[in-house]
């Protein structure tokens, strides 16, 4: 079966994760896909397991004589993003795409002027949604490519080492690694297949933290407020103004970090600001957190003790620190991508992946591209040809690593 055929099958199952349920997995539809994948893995001859947290793990034995080779892991997530509907996806296939603006049945237009990479897809078979939902390429494309690579591998006479496979829930809400059993997975190192264009390779990501600022004001009648009222909304405005405008997401790119105000709420009496804090450089990341602490102290000096309270929680760190001792992962990926006639491109992730957290859990885990674009929205798309190439890149890595180690 071709990767795009699997993909069209998998996206028919709604697996949209939900950060508000508090359950694991966060949405019961993830179990539907998980059970299907377990059955398909077993049909391919792998030993597969599905646990009560919706993690699918499977193992393919090495070719005889290669049992002592390191275990290579392949990982993709089953859920789709909560930001845009993943239910009742109606894929549209654009044969021999002309490289121009894409007109959706619902009236939306995906313009080349907004998405210049579309011009590079000319002549390929483009897959989009109908514009009313996301497509699900993030990351059912990765799931499809891994499954297809395994199917090819089981029928290929060339020798290979042992392979471990995992399909995870709830990556899109930051919980994909929460219940991942690294010991049971038993891989020496792994790749997530969860990136963008097929030639892209990612092994650097943001250091990340969540910051909540709770502000307690003093409410009083506005007619007699002088010297008494401390309007929590005004305090919140003062706090936010202390953060540099140049360090907002809309003003940054590449390796530049940011403070992103994700939501604000409150009234005169109390208010709350929530930020995500990001930077690739660990030293700068720590300095950004220190700046938040200094701003909190300044607010309390100005408005009174305990006016502002800062709650900081680190989310994940830059995986490069854990990848450096395993440079063969980079070398194999580069060789595998170039072997397909693709341009190899190292891309710093302006976000995080399961691989970042797994790397700090003892499983070095950089990220491969799937061939998809414009994730988390109605203009998400992928091509048949790039999915084929992503599958071959996976196979190339399997054979290349076996020769290197």
- The closest alpha carbon to 174, from 17, 349, 16, belongs to 17
User: 């990556």: which residue's tokens?
Assistant: 171
* Alpha-carbon torsion, ordered 88, 375, 373, 203, to 10 deg: -140
3-state secondary structure of 282: helix
Token readout for 11 is 């996206």
Q: Where are the alpha helices (DSSP H) in 157-205?
A: 182-185
Residue 353 pLDDT: 80
User: Rounded CA gap, 206 and 256, in Å?
Assistant: 9
Cβ–Cβ contacts within 10 Å for residue 367, how many? 27
Catalytic: 197?
Answer: no
Residue 80 pLDDT: 97
pTM of the model: 0.89
Handedness of CA 245, 247, 249, 253 (dihedral sign): positive
User: 């090819």: which residue's tokens?
Assistant: 152
| CATH code assigned to 207-316 | 3.30.70.360
Averaged pLDDT in 10-residue chunks for the chain of 405 residues: 98 96 96 98 97 98 95 98 92 97 96 97 98 97 98 93 97 93 97 96 95 96 93 98 97 96 97 97 98 98 97 94 94 97 93 88 97 96 98 97 86
User: 């194999």: which residue's tokens?
Assistant: 332
Task: Order the strands of the 308-316 sheet from edge to edge.
Answer: 258-266, 270-279, 207-216, 308-316
Query: What CA–CA distances, in Å, run from 310 to 198, 260, 276?
Result: 41, 15, 13
Residue 403 pLDDT: 86
CATH 3.20.20.80 fits 3-204+318-404, yes or no: no
- The closest alpha carbon to 189, from 285, 95, 85, 75, belongs to 75
Indicate which residue of 138, 139, 171, 197 is catalytic.
171
Catalytic: 79?
Answer: yes
Token readout for 120 is 């590079």
Element spanning 260, H or E: strand 258-266
Phi, psi angle pair for 193, to nearest 5°: -115, 85
Beta strands 258-266; 200-202: pairing state: unpaired
What is the full DSSP assignment across 288-345? HHHHHHHHHHHHHHHH-TTSEEEEEEEEE--THHHHGGGTHHHHHHHHHHHHTTPPPE
Beta bridge partners, 76, equal 167
- The closest alpha carbon to 240, from 252, 232, 251, belongs to 232
Indicate which residue of 40, 79, 145, 197 is catalytic.
79
Q: What residue ranges do the domains of the chain occupy?
A: 3-204+318-404, 207-316
Residue 354 pLDDT: 87
Residue 276 pLDDT: 96
Residue 351 pLDDT: 80
């Amino acid at each position: 079966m071709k990767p795009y055929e699997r993909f069209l099958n998998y996206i028919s199952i709604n697996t949209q994760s939900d950060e508000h349920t508090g359950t694991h997995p966060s949405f019961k539809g993830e179990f539907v896909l998980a059970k299907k994948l377990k059955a398909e893995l077993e049909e391919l001859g792998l030993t597969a397991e599905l646990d009560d947290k919706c993690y699918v793990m499977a193992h393919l034995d090495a070719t005889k004589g290669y049992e002592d080779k390191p275990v290579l892991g392949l990982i993709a997530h089953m859920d789709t993003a909560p930001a845009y509907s993943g239910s009742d996806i109606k894929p549209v296939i654009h044969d021999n795409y002309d490289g121009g603006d894409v007109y959706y049945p619902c009236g939306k237009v995906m313009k080349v002027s907004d998405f210049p990479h579309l011009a590079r897809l000319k002549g390929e078979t483009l897959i989009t949604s109908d514009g009313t939902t996301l497509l699900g390429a993030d990351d059912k494309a990765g799931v499809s490519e891994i499954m297809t690579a395994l199917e090819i591998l089981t029928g290929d006479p060339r020798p290979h080492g042992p392979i471990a496979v995992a399909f995870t829930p709830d990556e899109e809400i930051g919980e994909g690694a929460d219940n991942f059993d690294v010991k049971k997975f038993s891989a020496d190192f792994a790749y997530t297949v969860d990136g963008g264009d097929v030639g892209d390779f990612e092994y650097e990501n943001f250091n990340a933290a969540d910051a909540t600022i709770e502000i307690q004001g003093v409410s009083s009648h506005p007619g007699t407020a002088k010297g008494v009222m401390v309007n929590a909304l005004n305090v919140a405005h003062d706090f936010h103004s202390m953060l540099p405008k140049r360090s907002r997401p809309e003003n940054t790119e590449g390796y530049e970090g940011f403070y992103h105000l994700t939501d604000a709420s409150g009234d005169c009496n109390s208010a709350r600001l929530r930020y995500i804090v990001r930077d690739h450089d660990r030293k700068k990341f720590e300095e950004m957190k220190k700046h938040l602490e200094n701003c909190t102290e300044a607010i309390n000096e100005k408005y009174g003790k305990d006016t502002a309270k800062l709650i900081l929680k680190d989310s994940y760190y830059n995986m490069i620190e854990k990848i450096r001792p395993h440079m063969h992962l980079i070398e194999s990926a580069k060789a595998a991508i170039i072997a397909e006639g693709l341009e190899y491109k190292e891309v710093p992730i302006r976000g995080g992946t399961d691989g970042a957290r797994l790397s700090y859990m003892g499983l070095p885990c950089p990220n491969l591209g799937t061939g998809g674009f414009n994730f988390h929205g109605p203009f998400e798309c992928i091509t048949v040809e790039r999915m084929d190439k992503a599958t071959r890149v996976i196979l190339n890595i399997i054979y290349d690593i076996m020769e290197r180690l």
